[in-house]
Amino acid sequence: PKSGMNGNGPSKLVDPLEDPLPGVGTYEDFNTIDWVREKSKDRDRHREITNKSRQSTVALLHSVSDAFSGWLLMLLVGLMSGALAGGIDIAAHWLTDMKGGVCLIGFWFNHEHCCWKSNEATFQDRDRCPQWQSWAELITGTSEGAFAYIVNYLMYIFWALLFSFLAVTLVRAFAPYACGSGIPEIKTILSGFIIRGYLGKWTLIIKTITLVLAVSSGLSLGKEGPLVHVACCCANILCHLFTKYRKNEAKRREVLSAAAAVGVSVAFGAPIGGVLFSLEEVSYYFPLKTLWRSFFAALVAAFTLRSINPFGNSRLVLFYVEFHAPWHLVELAPFVLLGIFGGLWGALFIRANIAWCRRRKTTRLGHYPVIEVLVVAALTALLAYPNSYTRMSGAELISELFNDCSLLDSSQLCGYKQVSVGNSLADRPAGAGLYTALWQLALALVFKMMITVITFGMKVPSGLFIPSMAVGAIAGRLLGVGMEQLAYYNHDSFIFKGWCSPGADCITPGLYAMVGAAACLGGVTRMTVSLVVIMFELTGGLEYIVPLMAATMTSKWVADAFGREGIYEAHIRLNGYPFLEPKEEFEHSSLTVDVMRPKRSDPALAVLTQEGMTVGQVEALVESTHYSGFPVVVSQESQRLVGFVLRRDLLISIDNARKRQEGVVSASQVVFTEHAPSVAADAPPPLRLRGIMDLSPFTVTDHTPMDITVDIFRKLGLRQCLVTHNGLKQNTVKPLNYIHQNFPLPLCLKSAPSTKPPPAPPRPTSHTRSSRLSGCYMCVCDEKRTTLVC
Amino acid sequence: PKSGMNGNGPSKLVDPLEDPLPGVGTYEDFNTIDWVREKSKDRDRHREITNKSRQSTVALLHSVSDAFSGWLLMLLVGLMSGALAGGIDIAAHWLTDMKGGVCLIGFWFNHEHCCWKSNEATFQDRDRCPQWQSWAELITGTSEGAFAYIVNYLMYIFWALLFSFLAVTLVRAFAPYACGSGIPEIKTILSGFIIRGYLGKWTLIIKTITLVLAVSSGLSLGKEGPLVHVACCCANILCHLFTKYRKNEAKRREVLSAAAAVGVSVAFGAPIGGVLFSLEEVSYYFPLKTLWRSFFAALVAAFTLRSINPFGNSRLVLFYVEFHAPWHLVELAPFVLLGIFGGLWGALFIRANIAWCRRRKTTRLGHYPVIEVLVVAALTALLAYPNSYTRMSGAELISELFNDCSLLDSSQLCGYKQVSVGNSLADRPAGAGLYTALWQLALALVFKMMITVITFGMKVPSGLFIPSMAVGAIAGRLLGVGMEQLAYYNHDSFIFKGWCSPGADCITPGLYAMVGAAACLGGVTRMTVSLVVIMFELTGGLEYIVPLMAATMTSKWVADAFGREGIYEAHIRLNGYPFLEPKEEFEHSSLTVDVMRPKRSDPALAVLTQEGMTVGQVEALVESTHYSGFPVVVSQESQRLVGFVLRRDLLISIDNARKRQEGVVSASQVVFTEHAPSVAADAPPPLRLRGIMDLSPFTVTDHTPMDITVDIFRKLGLRQCLVTHNGLKQNTVKPLNYIHQNFPLPLCLKSAPSTKPPPAPPRPTSHTRSSRLSGCYMCVCDEKRTTLVC
């Protein structure tokens, strides 16, 4: 402990609490950790190991293994997440195909695998073989006609309902935390909050299973976001293997940051993009060491996934794209248009989704999650089946939309009229097939936009990446084909003249789809660099970065104009998690003194004195308040600050002393000084608690601007900060008696552990509404260094 | 100003210093900036513009243009840096070719361009045409024979000497700051130090010119590092166009961070790698906004460079590499070996180079920089010419070593014996040409290793990336060819069996060269992620990341075992710049009280009282000390802290008051309180200085562990921090009279501006030696809140 370091001679007493009690220094559920204390603990531990390592070979080996345990952990996280992601991919592929039919060779084969096994499929028509039968074929014996269509339709709906019912029931029964995308909660956890069980083994198991079911049920959701949650669960569970990470909340969060990178890495096959995603979007504390380790873990995971080869093509990336034609500067205009569309869609989606989720929270709708999921699944299946673009899975749809039409392509989207042979990839006029496809795509766009709003936030695992990208990809492809046709029929107009001569391949609709996907995803999540890098890793060509960047930038600006929060921040706020947004600037010019000024009706400050209080008095003080900690002052008269004691540590220590230490009764003195005070001979022995006192609480003066205070909270990861007032002459200003109980600190007011998420924070009072300091503790010491409200 | 915000009624006096004086709030040369103050200033400015924007359309437009000025600035930085880099490439290419011969069509054509113009060169032999004549041909009329060889040799040496002489003379005459790579200084500047002129226009002009000359002279140096300096100069100069960046040191550093990314982006054609380089290697404060803007600027620069097309191949990247064969897991062993070599070489190079630079600093060697450069240039030319691998420029050498041999390749390195036709790229036995090449490469390796040590640090612009990579690439290629031959002749051994059958292309020596280059560069600079990403951008294939990563990681670990400093940190320390390494962990378990405890012989604390001191007394105090700032306390008796005043602001204010304000004489009272004290009727009017006082100085208690204190300094970018001591009862411990003048603060002791780099910091005393807090100011207030040493 910090206090034991400056021994000042023989008068010092041995502190009975030198060895920390079990529980002292740990946190309750739904509390914020103290980053400074955790990091300090880790440094002490490291120092001890280093010092010991000079003494013996065993200790040296221990020191080396300790140094490499981080890398080993990263390796394990990468391997486990990669393997799980591969398993999820394979299972989801199989179950998705199951909705359409079954393999006669063995029901455990998916469509492609089945035909591959049968050896009867030609290379071109890999998807058609007699061994794979649709449900209609199996039941009615024919795959033609209206009846067969209806049988297939009904079987599709049946499977969708079954899968979604299983998913929501499993989530409700075993792991309520497994629902949603998990990214808002992981952001909160990484910022230092504790939600026990959120990253536990049950969540992992149930999330993995239900994710497969939810994706297969055809709901408009993706598995990419939840994969981040899955990777974080893996990391959290594996942390238990290493003392260094098990016991230290700050170190564990470093591992979780890396795991977030792993999640995106396996989701898209983009390790660098994953690391940047973790850095930009989810992490709070991201030292360089973590950057390096995240990168390592992300790579391991990507290669594990590749060696499992769930897509059967040995590609690392989810959507492999290869474009043949460069883009022209003029095309930046449609790209920016796509950016505007993406931004508008993002802003609209966030508003609509949050409104819907709030309705779910506040009305009776929220009481029937199973029925809600079933209704939405039925609706989705009912509307999606007739349209081939909504019937296929989101990832397949995107893959098809990104695709650049070659001459051999049989897809409807490539239904161009054949013109004279020249450049085989030249722009061609649209044929009937393409027109049908465009109509279907337009309908699919409207459908996807609607259904995603009510799907995201249901009680099943649901990611937002794929649906958002699908919306953007459809819009982009539509615009791309439009541009292509415009260029084909107007080669001579001033816009196209000079760069798009007849017979040239000048417009690539697939690129437009890609740009649109990036724009929409950017509008919803407000990712920027990481999004562009993920897309770059998909194409591998630096040339296409500029269109992507233009669209993403526009999208972010447009969306920000309607509200600065991305979907994850909005969900964090909706759920009332304490989260101090690291990106946001504090906008008001108030000083700390303005924010912390007490109301007249507030009670007096709750402080402990370093000596003179009895155990009974301390207990009474703790009982009568719900603050999470108490400043220790010299005396009630001279309220100079000595240190800070956390409520939890205080309660544990007194409890323990009453049980174990002889003679500690309510009348015993509580002593925080280094040297025991002189007590009367017949008095009970004092209880010394200096060991649990933080001798170096953070303080700011009351004249510190609030923006600096908020900055200190963010950058150092503080749990509390004391505000001191001093130096001004007492007679020139009226004495301030700061106390401010309504400061928006939902957790500050928490005293008992609970197993449910905390309620939404109380509305802050007018002058603090904008401070957004939720989750951080703040105390004030007034002129006489009296404390305050914690 | 912060002080004016809480008006407490009519008794408040108008402060004559409400409007800051010119000079107040600025910094002297060779001082450290106060990040907190700068950021606070910027927020105030932003708030003001936002408030005004609601009032009129003009103000709204101003607000919008202010918001976009950052992006505009980035665009300009990208364009200018890209253009300059293109110019440097073209000029260096031309001058390098000039050493070998001249173009008869026009002397301003380089070799390739000349033959391209002549139309007589075939596609295969683009480099041979009658229009390009070597000096021997031009002078003696023949290019054959010993005489011609000697003429060419002499001309080569002549040009090398001429170029290097011009370079060193220009640097000495016009811009001494233009020498070296500039990265150590830029790191220091980005951490908050001020070196006026280091990024000025003269430095830019001279560095650009001399960089071309130095590279062309054939010295073992590269232009990649200096390009970072050039880009930062561009950014700094362009900052003057925008008030927002001109006036705020913190904002300007954000732009400089982005410029560092731009520098690497244009050096390698790797925008993402550049951004990560800036993040990992040079930046100190890198908010997400900067990440995004850096990326934008890096892309703009890369595309500007591409449109200039200096390499004539429309490639974005410096070395374009395409490998055909995958690598096998067994090959990780040689890759790790290369990593070990790179780490050893890095550690050795840093030691040798620092020892040599220290010798230059301390002995008479440093007095003759021109002669030194000429001698090294002559030596380099003399030894380099006979060996074709050292004769070519570093970039060409690396490019050739990275190259994968195709069948048509005429290079000596591809001098394999032709064997039966099969896989055209199969492993083949080495022929005589290859053996010669290997010998030459081995000699080149030894030569490069030696000469680079004495070259880096001379008074010419010199980058380290290319020489380091060259060393690694040679070693890698040697090992690669060795492995290839081993595999060819031992197909059946247990190592190669199963993955390297006869006739297969299983070993790619070019990949080994690439891995070796990464390992050596990593060993010297200790870059990790950014290095791997740069290399990834060169190849564009994720498959080769794993070998690169294994080598870089090994290299870093091996090099770190010999000393944790990279070459840039070592040069920072050599030059005595104040730099608080953000990566390094503080290792000692001392408390702040241990570090700040004064010696017995130290003088009393230098403090100002908030009232009661006269102008004369204040001036005397300032005169008699050299501290950069003084705490303001309530009174000498009750030394409670009120605020902190910087020496520079104090001097400027008093000077100004004496000149402008009537009645301010030496006997005038200096008042820091909000309300004027009552003075005798005949006394001179008081001088109110509350406006220049920082009312929210950062404080830590004396029981704060030093590692936390150091963390606070790093994370918040503090310039000073006051240490308070309070709460302990005065009679239980002996009164502490902290004062510690020998705290390792070289800048703390500076009082007058100077135009030269500061001297090396004084040796700290024993108990502070390890604290490495150089450049940060730290003050202590004792029990009575007396201040201290600043």
Min mean pLDDT across A53-62, B25-34, B246-255 is at: B25-34
Chain A residues 516-555 with a CB less than 8 Å from chain B? 528-529, 532-533, 536-537, 540-542, 545-546, 549, 553
Q: Please check whether residue A674 is in contact with residue A690, taking contact to mean a CB–CB distance below 8 angstroms.
A: yes
Q: How far lies A523's CA from each of A446, A468, A513, in Å?
A: 17, 9, 15
- Which distant-in-sequence residues (6+ apart) come within 8 Å of A501 by Cβ? A491
Whether the per-residue pLDDT at B756 is higher than 50: the answer is: no
Which of B35, B40, B41, B43 should one mutate to test binding to chain A, selecting the residue with the greatest count of A CBs within 10 A? B43
CB atoms within 10 A of CB A383: 15
Min mean pLDDT across A475-489, A533-547, A558-572 is at: A533-547
Mean pLDDT across the stretch B85-98?
A: 91
Mean pLDDT across the stretch A55-70?
A: 89
Tens digit of each residue's pLDDT (9 = 90 or more) over A704-757: 887 787 778 778 877 777 777 653 322 222 222 222 222 332 222 222 222 233
- Between A669 and B205, the higher pLDDT residue: B205
Closest C-alpha to A672, from A698, A654, A692, A655: A692
Closest C-alpha to A294, from A319, A270, A325, A271: A271
Q: Please check whether residue B40 is in contact with residue A707, taking contact to mean a CB–CB distance below 8 angstroms.
A: yes
- CA–CA gap between residue A286 and residue B142 (Å, rounded): 64
Q: Please check whether residue B243 is in contact with residue B123, taking contact to mean a CB–CB distance below 8 angstroms.
A: no
pLDDT category at A587 given cuts 50, 70, 90 is low
Chain B residue with Cα closest to A727: B642
Q: Please give the order of strands across the beta sheet that includes B669-671.
A: B613-614, B669-671, B687-688
Which of B74, B726, B770 should one mutate to test binding to chain A, selecting the residue with the greatest count of A CBs within 10 A? B726
Tens digit of each residue's pLDDT (9 = 90 or more) over A326-352: 788 888 999 999 999 999 999 999 999
Tens digit of each residue's pLDDT (9 = 90 or more) over B127-159: 677 788 888 888 888 878 888 899 999 999 999
Same CATH topology for B68-308 and B592-780: the answer is: no
- CATH topology (fold) of B329-419+435-575: Clc chloride channel (1.10.3080)
Mean pLDDT across the stretch A114-131?
A: 66
Identify the H or E element spanning B624: helix B615-624
* CB atoms B2 and A292 under 8 Å: no
Any CB–CB contact under 8 A between B292 and chain A? yes
CB-count burial class (<10 Å; 0-12, 13-18, 19+) for B125: exposed
Whose tokens are 């301030």? That residue is: A736
- Bridge-based pairing state of the strands A608-609 and B720-724: unpaired
- Which distant-in-sequence residues (6+ apart) come within 8 Å of B686 by Cβ? B668, B669, B670, B671, B676, B677, B679
Q: Which residues of A touch B673 (CB under 8 A)?
A: 728-729, 732
- Number of CB pairs, chain A paired with chain B, less than 8 A apart: 183
B356's tokens: 């040599």
Which of A690, A704, A712, A714 should one mutate to test binding to chain B, selecting the residue with the greatest count of B CBs within 10 A? A704
- Between A154 and A765, the higher pLDDT residue: A154
Tens digit of each residue's pLDDT (9 = 90 or more) over B642-686: 788 888 888 888 888 888 777 778 888 888 887 776 766 777 778
Backbone angles phi, psi at B731, to 5 degrees: -90, -5
A592-780: CATH class: alpha beta
The pLDDT of residue A157: 94
Whether the per-residue pLDDT at B297 is higher than 60: the answer is: yes
Whether the per-residue pLDDT at B761 is higher than 60: the answer is: no
pLDDT category at B500 given cuts 50, 70, 90 is confident
- Which distant-in-sequence residues (6+ apart) come within 8 Å of B247 by Cβ? none
Backbone angles phi, psi at B553, to 5 degrees: -65, -50
- CATH topology (fold) of A334-414+433-568: Clc chloride channel (1.10.3080)
The pLDDT of residue A125: 58
- Between A138 and B25, the higher pLDDT residue: A138
pLDDT category at B407 given cuts 50, 70, 90 is low
Give the gap in angstroms from C-alpha A43 to the nearest C-alpha of chain B. 8
Please give the share of chain B, as a percent, with pLDDT higher than 90.
Answer: 32
pLDDT category at B366 given cuts 50, 70, 90 is confident
Tens digit of each residue's pLDDT (9 = 90 or more) over A483-505: 988 888 888 888 887 777 777 77
Any CB–CB contact under 8 A between B674 and chain A? yes
**B715 closest CB neighbour out of A3, A43, A715:** A715
- CA–CA gap between residue B341 and residue B132 (Å, rounded): 41
The pLDDT of residue B317: 67
* CB atoms A280 and B291 under 8 Å: yes
Whether the per-residue pLDDT at B335 is higher than 90: the answer is: yes
Whether the per-residue pLDDT at A314 is higher than 70: the answer is: no
Q: Please check whether residue B787 is in contact with residue B641, taking contact to mean a CB–CB distance below 8 angstroms.
A: yes
Which phi-psi region, left, alpha or beta, contains residue A717 (left: φ > 0; alpha: ψ -120 to 50)?
left
- Between B36 and A318, the higher pLDDT residue: B36
* CB atoms B533 and A303 under 8 Å: no
The pLDDT of residue B690: 84
The pLDDT of residue B490: 84
**A8 closest CB neighbour out of B541, B701, B733:** B733
Any CB–CB contact under 8 A between A302 and chain B? yes
- Between B675 and B382, the higher pLDDT residue: B382
Which of B11, B272, B706, B712 should one mutate to test binding to chain A, selecting the residue with the greatest count of A CBs within 10 A? B272
Q: Which residues of A touch B275 (CB under 8 A)?
A: 529
* CB atoms A542 and B537 under 8 Å: yes
Closest C-alpha to A780, from A676, A701, A667, A672: A701
The pLDDT of residue B515: 95
Q: What is the DSSP letter of A321?
A: -
Coil vs helix vs strand at B445? helix
The pLDDT of residue B764: 31
Any CB–CB contact under 8 A between A329 and chain B? no
Q: Looking at the whole model, is its pTM more than 0.90?
A: no
Whether the per-residue pLDDT at A109 is higher than 50: the answer is: yes
State which CATH number among 1.10.3080.10, 1.10.1660.10, 3.90.1170.50, 2.60.120.260 fits the domain covering B68-308: 1.10.3080.10
- Between A367 and A227, the higher pLDDT residue: A227
The pLDDT of residue A493: 82
pLDDT category at B769 given cuts 50, 70, 90 is very low
How long is chain A?
A: 790
Chain B residues 635-654 with a CB less than 8 Å from chain A? 640-643
- CATH topology (fold) of A69-308: Clc chloride channel (1.10.3080)
The pLDDT of residue A758: 34
Closest C-alpha to B507, from B416, B432, B443: B416
**What ipTM, to 2 d.p.?**
0.82
Coil vs helix vs strand at B505? coil
- Between A514 and B320, the higher pLDDT residue: A514
Mean pLDDT across the stretch B401-422?
A: 72
Any CB–CB contact under 8 A between B128 and chain A? no
The chain-wide mean pLDDT, for chain B, equals 79
Chain A residues 728-767 with a CB less than 8 Å from chain B? 728-729, 732-733
Chain A residue with Cα closest to B592: A696
The pLDDT of residue A555: 95
Give the gap in angstroms from C-alpha B13 to the nearest C-alpha of chain A. 13
* CB atoms A542 and B673 under 8 Å: no
Q: Please check whether residue A385 is in contact with residue A447, taking contact to mean a CB–CB distance below 8 angstroms.
A: no
Q: Please check whether residue A731 is in contact with residue A762, taking contact to mean a CB–CB distance below 8 angstroms.
A: no
| Domain regions of chain B by residue span | 68-308, 329-419+435-575, 592-780
Mean pLDDT across the stretch A610-617?
A: 86
What proportions of chain B, in percent to the nearest 5, are helix, strand and coil?
A: 55, 5, 40
B250's tokens: 């913190």
